Amino acid sequence: MLCKCRNDGVEELAILGAGVEPMVTAAALADPVDVAEFRVKLDTYDEATVKALMENRALLDSVNQRIEEMLDGAHKLEDGRRVFKTIDGQRVFDEHGASVPLQTINPEQIPNHLPKWEHLQAERQLKETLIEERQQILEFQDKLDRARESADADDFTQSELDDLEADIEDSAPPSVAKHMPGFEEKADLKLKEEFRTPAASLANNAQTQSSPSMNPMQ
């Protein structure tokens, strides 16, 4: 049988059995100062998340506008379909991605200054990427709310605090992380480390190649 009790700020889990001495595993509760600092960090992440959502919305609005402008400026067939010529001028697609045969329209009939198929596809792909990014930000926002609820619990342990703090830092979407204090310094440091590693490897290789080989017969 499990018995959970509290003793001098320490949560204890006792395993009781008939005729068996209780086994106690103690888990230290989180330090109030650490919890307070964690809450401040959560507030900072909240602010960064809001900025990321606003930035994402602006980018989505912009790409939606460009897509609408491309559709409005597209060549139109007699049946009302809007069609786009490829950059190489060899093929034609309608706005839904269906290939349009030569019997319907020759690519040369579409003026070169009109929007191209690849450009429309690129904007649509960017839109999908931004939608996925927004979903990641919203999921991270939910994680922050759950973390705050955990921090408010009376039985919040130091181990739980450490795990939550590490998980939040590791799972923050790039669009959120870039709005956190110190992000630029961390990014510069990471870039320097990535540059230093191959540079050191090249230097070691050069040194190895330049070193005279030992001849065991000498």
pLDDT of residue 111 exceeding 70, the answer is: yes
Q: What is the pLDDT of residues 159-173, one digit of tens each?
A: 999 999 999 999 999
Fill in the amino acid letter for 186: K
Arithmetic mean of pLDDT over the chain: 84
pLDDT at residue 210, rounded to an integer:
55
H or E, element range at 28: strand 20-28
User: Which tokens hold the place of 141?
Assistant: 């926002």
Long-range contacts of 148-155 (CB under 8 A, 24+ apart): 148/39, 148/42, 151/30, 151/35, 151/38, 151/39, 151/42, 155/11, 155/29
Higher pLDDT, 184 or 170: 170
pLDDT at residue 198, rounded to an integer:
59
Inter-helix orientation angle 117-151/32-72, to 10°? 160
pLDDT band at residue 60 using 50, 70 and 90 as cut-offs: very high
Q: What is the pLDDT of residues 5-51, one digit of tens each?
A: 555 555 444 444 445 444 444 579 989 999 999 999 999 999 999 99
Helices and strands, number each (H, E), in the chain? 5, 6
**Residue ranges per structural domain of the chain:** 1-30, 31-73+115-182
Higher pLDDT, 199 or 180: 180
Query: Of 19-28, 52-61, 103-112, where does mean pLDDT reach its minimum?
Result: 19-28
Contact status, residue 44 vs residue 35, Cβ threshold 8 Å = no
Average pLDDT over residues 122-140: 98
Percentage of residues in the chain with pLDDT exceeding 70?
Answer: 72
Higher pLDDT, 107 or 193: 107
pTM of the predicted protein model? 0.73
Contact status, residue 56 vs residue 135, Cβ threshold 8 Å = no
Q: What is the pLDDT of residues 67-107, one digit of tens each?
A: 999 999 999 999 999 999 999 999 999 999 999 999 999 99
pLDDT at residue 27, rounded to an integer:
75
pLDDT band at residue 188 using 50, 70 and 90 as cut-offs: low
pLDDT of residue 129 exceeding 80, the answer is: yes
pLDDT at residue 1, rounded to an integer:
47
pLDDT of residue 54 exceeding 90, the answer is: yes
pLDDT at residue 201, rounded to an integer:
57
pLDDT at residue 184, rounded to an integer:
65
